[in-house]
């Protein structure tokens, strides 16, 4: 019961933070939607010359599903960074909050933010480009959860480094997930890799 109180206390803190700035709230959905639009047009452009690349909206779907990894990682790590930027970490660490409760709160807010960000992009892809990721059915849930968990795993590594080395390591937040991207074959088939 005490754990539930502490986790909800942190969720309340992140909710207040989101509520305090509408541009931040808008930004959560902004980037995935822009990604979807850019790759949607790219897909349309290639549809005549390389139909195998764009058939069934595969490129847009791949970009959207991949973005759930990036968004879940960014949402988790940015919430943690907020505590560092506002110099509030010590207040949290001397409170009864336990490490796993902090991780649970960060993961929960990350999931909420990822869903807020990805849902409009996925829904808008239907009228804009006639592509629905929801047609994947249950495998979509599997893909999504797998990628979100991978995103959180990267976040765990990044937050560990941030705790050890401080804000000097902040740029790793953006760098580490992109390290995976070339080997994840989002924009090209696996056979392309050497």
Partner 1 sequence: MTNKEIRVEARGLTKYFGKFCAVDHLSFSLGKGSLTGLLGGNGAGKTTTISMLLGLLNPTAGSVHVFNRDLAREKGSILPRMNFCSPYVDLPQRLTVWENLSVFARLYRVPQPRERIEELTEEFRLGDLLKKPIRRLSSGQKTRVSLVKALINQPDFLLLDEPTASLSPDISLWIRDRLQKYRDSTGATILFASHDMREVELLCDHVMLMNRGKLVAQGSPDSLIKQYNCSSLEEVFLSLNRTD
Q: Which residues bind partner 1 (CB under 8 A)?
A: 2, 5-6, 8-10, 12-13, 16-17, 20-21, 82-83, 86-88, 90-98
Q: How far from 150 is each of 67, 69, 80, 83, 168, CA to CA, in Å?
A: 12, 7, 17, 22, 24
Nearer CB in complex with partner 1: 2/137: 2
Placement of tokens 């990267």 in the chain: 154
Nearer CB in complex with partner 1: 95/153: 95
Nearer CB in complex with partner 1: 86/153: 86
In three-state secondary structure terms, 80 is: helix
Shortest Å distance, C-beta 84 to partner 1:
11
Shortest Å distance, C-beta 29 to partner 1:
20
Shortest Å distance, C-beta 121 to partner 1:
26
Nearer CB in complex with partner 1: 2/194: 2
Q: How far from 28 is each of 45, 58, 192, CA to CA, in Å?
A: 27, 24, 32
Q: How far from 5 is each of 1, 9, 10, 97, 141, CA to CA, in Å?
A: 6, 6, 9, 10, 29
Shortest Å distance, C-beta 88 to partner 1:
5
């Amino acid at each position: 019961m005490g754990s539930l109180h502490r986790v909800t206390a942190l969720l309340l803190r992140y909710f207040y933070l989101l509520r305090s700035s509408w541009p931040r709230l808008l930004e959560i959905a902004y980037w995935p939607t822009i990604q979807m639009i850019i790759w949607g047009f790219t897909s349309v452009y290639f549809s005549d010359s390389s139909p195998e690349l764009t058939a069934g909206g595969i490129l847009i779907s791949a970009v959207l599903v991949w973005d759930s990894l990036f968004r879940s990682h960014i949402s988790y790590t940015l919430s943690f960074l907020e505590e560092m930027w506002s110099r509030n970490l010590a207040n949290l660490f001397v409170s009864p909050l336990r490490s796993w409760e902090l991780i649970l709160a960060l993961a929960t807010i990350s999931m909420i933010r990822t869903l807020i960000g990805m849902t409009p992009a996925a829904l808008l892809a239907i009228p804009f480009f006639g592509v629905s990721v929801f047609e994947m059915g249950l495998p979509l849930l599997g893909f999504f959860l797998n990628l979100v968990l991978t995103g959180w795993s990267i976040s765990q590594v990044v937050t560990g480094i941030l705790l050890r080395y401080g804000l000097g390591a902040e740029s790793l937040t953006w760098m580490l997930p992109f390290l995976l991207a070339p080997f994840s074959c989002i924009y090209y088939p696996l056979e392309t890799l050497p």
